Every structure is written in structure tokens, then in C-alpha cells.
Amino acid sequence: MIDKKSPSAINRRTFIGVTSAIGAMAASGVGPAIAQSRSSRPVVISSGNGFVHRNGGTETCVERAYRMITEGTDVLESLIAGVNIVELDPEDTSVGYGGLPDAWGRVTLDSCCMHGPLKRAGGVAALQGVRTPSNVAKAVADLTDHHLLVDKGAQDFARQMGFSIEEDLNTERSRQRYLEWRRRIDPSHYPDPNRQAQLTPDAYRQFARESIAVAEDMAAEGLIDPEHLYGTINCNGVNSNGDVCGVTTTSGLAWKIPGRVGDSPILGAGLYVSNNHGAAGSTGRGEANLYNLASFLVVEELRRGADPKDAGMTALQRIWENTETRLLNENREPTFNVNFYVLGKDGRHAGVAFYGTSTNGSRRNYAVCDENGGRHEPIEGLIR
């Protein structure tokens, strides 16, 4: 693992000055806010796709991450090793290699990660050609003074760091799904590169509405997994020392308008980590999460003393309050879903969403691995 050098030691004069100031504050009854230590137990949680065996492997995402954490590996390094399993799986069309492409047929990937103890973060957006964007996000955190690199700049950075760049991350499966979607779209509204500059804002909005409608029809017909329209994996973990980290990685909204970036690579939206309190990550409609920076809100609720479930429900309520009328049904309920995966520093956890059941009526789950092994646990719905 590549790491930055630790801060240089302070000199004796600085040390004496600092300790004298602390002594003065103590005498006056005023002092710095210091997080209370809490006993922690190693736990890894993720979205439901983190507990699925892939590529003939014997470990799932959460199982690999948990094993590595309990063996003493850095928490963030362990989590990224876990999500790599999903990123490299061509059968998961929501993440990494074989993810459903944008409206021009290009697979573009987003990811971010946060290291609680080191207070580092890194992200990439609209990255093409690298199967494991979470690794590039970690390189941004470890090797630069930046938090987010995008598009060609992100790819150039990945190339400079030695990552293999591929021409096309589509699989035959994702390509065929894209061609079926394109066949169903009215060509007069399809923004091919030759017409791109002539499209009006109204034409863009019309195209976006029709794109989602067609995608939802294909999901209803079983051609694509409904969960993969907004598919992502978030994975958060804590070790026995209470070190908290998290990572989120995605191929984004299926057949999105080229250039669209959702919440996944944005700190405070797709992921937020506080080493003093816990971590939260999200899947679902990224625009709703971005508008509210809701993962940050979840962790703030943990800081205020809420348990993981209540912290997540508070964020869902905030999103609901700020939802446009056009995205509410006749009962004034959201027509989309947002999910939060919440992990406290003490190892308590929860999965919450607007809707705890899928469109086919099945119970929705999130993944957990702890001393009792890997498993799915039910997501609790705010509405149902």
C-alpha cells in the first residue's frame, strides 16, 4: 500500500508552547473537544450486492474485507479489495467492468473513498478504461493533494500511476442491453455526437425523460435488473481499534446523458466518514442525494447521538421534503428509491430506504459480515 509520509515531529519549543496552552485551558475549565473512545468490534457492511459470490470465487465482498481487517490490514485497503470483486465481475451491470453504459454506449465509472484515521479522501468521476475505479480513487487520496479528478484528467492520472487502460469496458451483455435500449429510443431524440451541439435544453430534457421510461420498461420485462438502473456498491468498515473507512463505486445511471455524474464520487453525498462517529454511503437516485448531501447528514446525526437506523431515516425525510413535485406519486411519495448503509464507530449498523421492498415485491437487503459471518439483513423502509 502506498502511503504518504507521516507529519514531521514538532520541536521542543513548539511542544512546550502547546502543552502550556493546554494547561492554561484546563485551569480555566475550557478545553478542546476530544471524541470519547468507544469499544469497537470489526464489522463490514455494504449494499446487497456485496454478499454475492462472483467469478467462481469463494469469498464475497464483505467476507474478503472482514477477513483482511481481522488479519490486521488497513481498513480502507480491505474494503477496496472487497469491492474489487464486484467491479471485476462482468455479470454485475451496475459497477465496473460490464457496467451499463451511457447514451453513447461508453462505460464511465465513478468512485470515492474516505480514510477516517488519516482524514484522507479521493475520488474519480467519468473515468473510462479502468475496471477498478476504487483503486484510482485511493491513489488520488494517497498520492495527490486533490479530492476529485474527472474524465480525461482522471484517466491520464490513472495511466501515469501504472493502471492498465482499456479501450472499452463493455461486455457483450452490456453492449446488447445498450443496443436494445437504443433501438427503442426515437432516433429523432437520440443525441448522437454529430447532432450534439444543436440539441436545445428542451430536447435534452425530453430525451432524458424518454431514456428513463425505456429503461424502466426494460426492467419490467426482465431484460435488466431494476436495481441496476441506479446500481452501485457502497462498503463501509470498522476495525477493533475503531478505525472507520468507506468506499463507493459505480457505473452510474444506465444510459445517462453523457457527462452526467451522480452522487457516488462526491464526498458527503455518495459517502461520508467521520472516524469519531461512523460512516454512511448511498445507492439509488443520485440526484436526490446530491441535492441534500445526505450521507453527510447521516453522519452528523450519528454525531448528535442518533442510532444508525434513526440517522438514516432522518436523511430520508430530508430528501422527501426537498423532492420536486414531478417526482412524487399521487400519494405525494417519492417515485424513486434511495438507500443508506449506516455504520457506527461502535459497530452498530442499519440499512434504510424509502422502500424496503423491490418492484417485484421481494424484500430488499444489505450485506453484513462480522464475527457471525457474512449474511444479508433486511433493509427497513421509511414508507413501506
C-alpha 154/C-alpha 189 separation (Å) is 30
Alpha-carbon distance of 123 to 112, in angstroms, equals 4
d(CA 123, CA 134): 8
Q: What is the pLDDT of residue 218?
A: 60
Which residues, at least 6 apart from 133, have a Cβ–Cβ distance to it below 8 Å? 87, 96, 109, 110, 111, 124, 127, 249
For domain 43-169+226-381, give the CATH number. Answer: 3.60.20.30
In this structure, what C-alpha cell is assigned to residue 360?
Answer: 417485484
- Residue 2, pLDDT score: 43
> Measuring CA to CA, which residue among 376, 289, 368 is closest to residue 42?
368
Whether 137 and 112 have beta carbons less than 8 Å apart is answered as yes
C-alpha cell belonging to residue 250: 459505480
Q: If you ran DSSP here, which 8-state letter would residue 328 be given? A: B
Q: Retrieve residue 193's grid coordinates.
A: 455526437
d(CA 239, CA 108): 32
Contact between residue 303 and residue 328 where contact means Cβ atoms under 8 Å apart = no
CA distance 233 to 221: 24
Catalytic residue among 60, 132, 232, 314, which?
A: 232
Per-domain boundaries in the chain: 43-169+226-381
Grid coordinates of 164: 492498465
Which amino acid does the sequence have at 170? N
According to the model, what pLDDT value does residue 227 have?
52
CA 271/CA 291 separation, integer angstroms: 14
Determine the pLDDT at residue 177: 82
Each residue's pLDDT expressed in tens, for the chain with a length of 384 residues: 444 433 334 343 343 343 444 344 344 444 433 344 456 899 999 999 999 998 789 999 999 999 999 999 999 999 999 999 999 998 876 688 888 888 888 999 999 999 999 999 999 999 999 999 999 999 999 999 999 999 999 999 999 999 999 988 888 888 888 877 777 764 443 445 444 455 555 655 565 566 656 656 665 665 555 554 456 999 999 999 999 999 999 998 887 889 999 999 999 999 999 999 999 999 999 999 999 999 999 999 999 999 999 999 999 999 999 999 989 999 999 999 999 999 999 999 999 999 999 877 889 999 999 999 999 999 999 999
232 among known catalytic residues: yes
Q: Does residue 331 contact residue 306 with C-beta atoms inside 8 Å? A: no
Type of residue found at 7: P
Query: Can you name the residues that pair with 282 across neighbouring β-strands?
Result: 340
Distance CA 44, CA 50 (A): 10
Cell numbers for 211:
431514456
